[in-house]
Structures are given as structure tokens and as C-alpha cells.
Amino acid sequence: MVKWHNKIYTYYVSLPEGVNEAVMPCLDGYTIYIDDTLDEEQQKKAFVHAMSHIANNDFDKDDVQDIEAEAHEVMNHAESKENSIR
Amino acid sequence: MSAQEYGKIIARNLRRIASDAGKSQADIARDLKINKATVSSWMNGTRIPRMEKIDMLASYFNVTRAEIMEEHSSRKRTYYLDPETAQAAQDLFDNRNLHALLDAARGNSPENIRLATDLLTKLKGTNPDG
């Protein structure tokens, strides 16, 4: 659950190839690093992906394969829904 | 099998079953009149629900006890294609100083995940938010 007193710090940095974003807990919230070579649309998607991990309490879970499978399923579902509306 | 491993199997099953049913931890706590912290502890594997609670959950989700209690390895979801890449991502998540999750390509190499780990370690040391 995103708590309203949690702060979200976002930084744009050059990440390794094939890594769009990283998110991690910090002292008073979460830090998100987004690859600065992505275009604006891709950076938005990367940010949404990071926020979905926070909102989904993924930091309380234990299996990264399961966490990422679910996060990407949700993102793909949201994208296909958005495309069907357009 | 240790109690910890057993707790993780139940937690993984509960998360999958809840996700399939579109139920959040808050929904489960409210609908079954169970403390939120208790539901959270079941879902992250730190506590194992008693049998009466497993029956309650099975009835709530309309699944069998076995669906909750037994390992269903064939149903384990995967994202990263290369087991070594998956392990590198798991190591990053299990790293107590970082505990980070990535948005990385499924076919990414373990080297890139390790590079990201090194970079995050350096960045964490320099950012004021810690």
C-alpha cells in the first residue's frame, strides 16, 4: 500500500542496457531511477512500473520471478485495455 | 521441509490465488474479519495460517486445501528467461542494503543485472534520501 507520508524520489540516470528502471525503499519512502536514454513515453511506462511495485506491496514479497511476472501481466493487461479504447 | 519453507509455499499459493481472484490483502482481511497484519504475514510467509483459517480461505476463494497448502511447481510463474539472470535479480532484491526491483527486459543478461546492482550501490551512497 502506498502510504501518503511516503516520499517518492525520482532520478534520471544512465542504466545498463535493457534496464529501464530500478525502484528501492529509502529512509522515508522510495527511490526510483529511470534510464535517461528512454523517450518520454517509455520513461512514463517505467515510472508506472515502479509505482505498481510500490502499490502492490511487492517489497513485502520474496520471489522476484513471481513479482515481475505479475507486474508485467498487469502492465500488459493495462496496455491492451488502453489500446482497445483508442 | 522447514516451517519457513512451508510458510513460503503457502504464501506463494495465497498470493497467486488472491491475484487470480482480484482480491487484495485488505479485501481478504475485511471479508474474513481477520487482522490485516495477520493476512500480510500469511502472504509474505512469516506466519503459517492454522488449519481452520486455511479452510476458511479455501472456502472464500473456492479452491481446495491442497491448492493453498501444496507446492504447485508447474504453476510457478516466471518472467526472466535465463535462470542466471533471474538469480542476479533475486540477489539484488535479497540484498539488504538495496532491496531493489528492476524493470528489465525478460531476455536480459545476468551481467547487465549485476552492473545495475553495482550502479545502485554507488548511487545509494551518494543520494541524500539514502
Residue A85 scores a pLDDT above 90: no
Do the Cβ atoms of B25 and A57 come within 8 Å? yes
My answer on whether B14 and B63 are in the same domain is yes
- Residue B16, domain extent: 3-69
Query: What pTM value is reported for the model?
Result: 0.64
**Distances, alpha carbon B106 to alpha carbons A43, A85, B20, B109, B113, in Å:** 18, 27, 22, 9, 11
> Tens of pLDDT along A50-84?
999 999 889 988 899 989 988 887 776 566 556 54
Do the Cβ atoms of A19 and B116 come within 8 Å? yes
| Measured distance CA(A32)–CA(A59) in Å, rounded | 14
My answer on whether B43 and B7 are in the same domain is yes
| Measured distance CA(B80)–CA(A27) in Å, rounded | 29
Distance from CA of A76 to the nearest CA of B (A): 13
> Tens of pLDDT along B70-89?
887 655 678 999 999 999 99
Average pLDDT over all residues of chain A: 86
* Interface TM-score (ipTM) > 0.85: yes
Is B60 within a domain? yes
Instruction: Give the pLDDT confidence score for residue A30 in this predicted structure.
Output: 95
Do the Cβ atoms of B103 and A63 come within 8 Å? no
Residue B52 scores a pLDDT above 70: yes
Question: What value, to the nearest 5°, has the Cα angle with vertex A48 and ends A44 and A53?
Answer: 150
Please tell me what DSSP assigns to residue B22: T
My answer on whether B65 and B105 are in the same domain is no
Instruction: Give the pLDDT confidence score for residue A74 in this predicted structure.
Output: 73
Contact between residue B104 and residue A20 where contact means Cβ atoms under 8 Å apart: yes
Distance from CA of A38 to the nearest CA of B (A): 12
Structural domain count, chain B: 2
Name the residue with higher pLDDT: B57 or B73.
B57
Is B9 within a domain? yes
Is A11 at the interface with chain B, CB within 8 A?
yes
Q: How many Cβ atoms are within 10 Å of B94's Cβ, its own excluded?
A: 11
What is the average per-residue pLDDT within B29-56?
93
My answer on whether B51 and B87 are in the same domain is no
- Mark which of B25, B45, B69 sits at the end of a domain: B69
Q: Give me B89's grid cell.
A: 535479480
Distance from CA of B52 to the nearest CA of A (A): 24
Do the Cβ atoms of B79 and A62 come within 8 Å? no
My answer on whether B7 and B65 are in the same domain is yes
Contact between residue B9 and residue A27 where contact means Cβ atoms under 8 Å apart: no
Instruction: Give the pLDDT confidence score for residue A72 in this predicted structure.
Output: 82
B99 neighbourhood in chain A, CB within 8 Å: 24-25, 59
For B77, nearest residue in chain A (alpha carbons): A66
Distance from CA of B32 to the nearest CA of A (A): 19
Residue B31 scores a pLDDT above 80: yes
Do the Cβ atoms of B104 and A18 come within 8 Å? yes
pLDDT above 70 as % of chain B: 95
Is B93 within a domain? yes
Instruction: Give the pLDDT confidence score for residue B39 in this predicted structure.
Output: 93
Contact between residue A46 and residue A13 where contact means Cβ atoms under 8 Å apart: no
Tell me the domain boundaries of chain A.
Answer: 7-85
Site from A12, A27, A65 to mutate, B interface, most B CB atoms within 10 angstroms? A65
Is B91 within a domain? yes
My answer on whether B7 and B62 are in the same domain is yes
My answer on whether B64 and B98 are in the same domain is no
Q: What is the DSSP string of chain A?
A: ---TT-EEEEEEE-PPTTEEEEEEEETTEEEEEEETTS-HHHHHHHHHHHHHHHHTTGGG---HHHHHHHHHHHHHHHHHHHHHH-
Site from A3, A14, A19 to mutate, B interface, most B CB atoms within 10 angstroms? A19
| Measured distance CA(A66)–CA(B108) in Å, rounded | 17
**Distances, alpha carbon A84 to alpha carbons A7, A79, A81, in Å:** 34, 9, 5
